[in-house]
Amino acid sequence: MTERVVLAYSGGLDTSVCIGWIAEATGAEVIAVAVDVGQGGEDLDVIRKRALACGAADAEVVDARDEFAQEYCVPAVKANALYMDQYPLVSALSRPVIVKHLVATAEKHNAGIVAHGCTGKGNDQVRFEAGISSLAPGLKCIAPVRDYAMTRDKAIAFAEAKGLPIATTKKSPYSIDQNVFGRAVETGFLEDIWNGPVEDVYEYTRNPAEPREADEVVITFEQGVPVALDGVAVTPLQAVQQLNQRAGAQGVGRLDMVEDRLVGIKSREVYEAPGAIALITAHRELEAVTVERELARFKRQVQQRWTELVYDGLWFSPLKQALDGFIDEANKYVSGDIRMTLHGGRAVVTGRKSAQSLYDFNLATYDTGDTFDQSMAKGFIEIFGLSTKIAAQRSLRAQDGAAAQ
């Protein structure tokens, strides 16, 4: 039986060339798989037909937008996931859902190899291959760009020689990856970290410096999941899509950072994630109202580790799955409304309301009606500071003893 290779297919030049390249290098049939995670662009059926025209033995397309939003973006919101306190895991979140469908297709077609178009310098090669090995340890992974030295000029020459139905001359100065949760831009003049981004880098957001009226939105959560905008019920996908439009129109979610890649390289990345930043900002504020102090303190440690695991491609790891349980439990009472003003590139919380609130007005107020018994404070401070007081007394005795010698 002819060997079969399942290829993660985007429809662009590199993965289109990969179809014939893999077939020639391995003698295998190639099954192309295109997964829609809200990246926009061409119709999935057009992409499927292109894969077949480029020599794929079969091609499958998957509309995974709702799945991606519900099962991958929502957990990131519940975890307030910001890698290096900035990046909302735009690309990192999409890889495991793509991996899931690659493995399912490999099982369906009895394929023993999965291929992707990543280079040997980035994070995505790890995310794909670590994810595949977690779900199907018996599958082999190959990466033509990395393993077979498939450079872009060689890819263009191959496409032209084979007459592949794909544009080979027009090239963006940037490397772009996008999905419904955001957009990542790198390379080109951005590789000089002194150069500032120019407006043509951006697509999801408008210039925040342009004058415009502010937009006010109320986001409703149930157990950490966004369920309504301005009182109108939405799915997680709709929440992200609508906030992409509204927050993006206000320039919210632009990020320019030097990032620590898993492979040890520092990389300059420009991101725009208006919906993601608006949702995480709102969710984090609602947690401040509804999550008990010690649980909130510990969750901040857990969510940082969760974020690092997802960034590093360990979505399917035992530790990440265990942390999922903690994060879900911590979101048990994160329900209510957050009012935000979107304007000038910022999402600013202006109001909070929750039936699960731990904020007690009568305890917090300094005015008439204060129910906090301030007479308890003096004794509390004495006990709270007792251990450090005793240690300080010991230090003073030691100093006095040393001075007397």
Q: pLDDT tens-digit profile of 127-156? A: 999 999 999 999 999 998 888 777 778 878
175 has binding-site annotation: yes
DSSP state of 112: S
Residue 364 burial class via C-beta count within 10 angstroms: exposed 0-12, middle 13-18, buried 19 and up: exposed
pLDDT of residue 371: 87
Judging by DSSP bridges, how do beta strands 29-36 and 58-63 pair with one another? parallel
Is 13 annotated as contributing to ligand binding?
yes
Judged by DSSP in three states, 343 sits in strand
pLDDT per residue as tens digits for the range 205-237? 999 999 999 999 999 999 999 999 999 999 999
In order, the DSSP letters of 252-301 are TTEEEEEEE-TTS-EEEEEEE-HHHHHHHHHHHHHHHHHS-HHHHHHHHH
Q: Is-catalytic flag, 134?
A: no
Please give the Cα distance from 2 to 403 (Å, whole number).
Answer: 87
87 is in an annotated binding site: yes
Confidence (pLDDT) at 158: 83
Q: What pLDDT shows up at residue 390?
A: 95
* Bridge partner residues of 259 (DSSP): 267
Q: Say whether 275 counts as a known binding-site residue.
A: no
Q: Is 14 annotated as a binding residue?
A: yes
Would you call 124 a catalytic residue per the annotation?
A: yes
Check residue 168 and give its pLDDT: 60
95, 183, 246, 254: the active-site residue: 95
Structure tokens at 39: 């990246």
**Residue position matching structure tokens 């927050």:** 247
Residue 11 labelled as part of a binding site? yes
How confident is the model at residue 150, as a pLDDT?
A: 79
Catalytic-role residue among 36, 48, 50, 124 = 124
The answer to whether 123 is annotated as binding is: yes
* Structural domains in the chain, sorted by start: 4-171 (3.40.50.620), 176-291+333-353 (3.90.1260.10), 361-398 (1.20.5.470)
Torsion of CA 30, 54, 166, 100, to 10 degrees: -30
Question: Could you give the count of Cα atoms lying within 13 Å of 104 in the half-sphere of its Cβ?
Answer: 12
For residue 298, what pLDDT is reported? 98
Q: What pLDDT sits at residue 356? A: 97
Catalytic residue among 14, 177, 312, 337: 14
Give pTM, 2 decimals.
0.93
For residue 1, what pLDDT is reported?
61
Q: Report whether 173 contacts 191 (CB < 8 A).
A: no
65 tagged catalytic: no
63 is catalytic: no
143 to 164, 309, 340: CA distances (angstroms): 20, 23, 44
- Among 175, 256, 328, 352, the active-site one is 175
DSSP 160-182: HHHT-SS--S---SSEEEEETTE
Give me the residues of the chain with pLDDT under 50, please: none
Residue 85 one-letter amino acid = D
47 vs 53: CA distance, rounded Å: 10
Q: Please tell me whether 375 is known to bind a ligand.
A: no
Distance CA 211, CA 213 (A): 7
User: Does the annotation list 124 as a binding residue?
Assistant: yes
pLDDT of amino acid 315: 98
Query: What is residue 51's predicted lDDT score, i.e. its pLDDT?
Result: 93
Cα separation, 69 vs 20, in Å, equals 33
- Structure tokens that stand for 262 in this block: 């898993």
Considering the chain, what is the average pLDDT of its residues? 93
- Three-class DSSP category at 367: coil
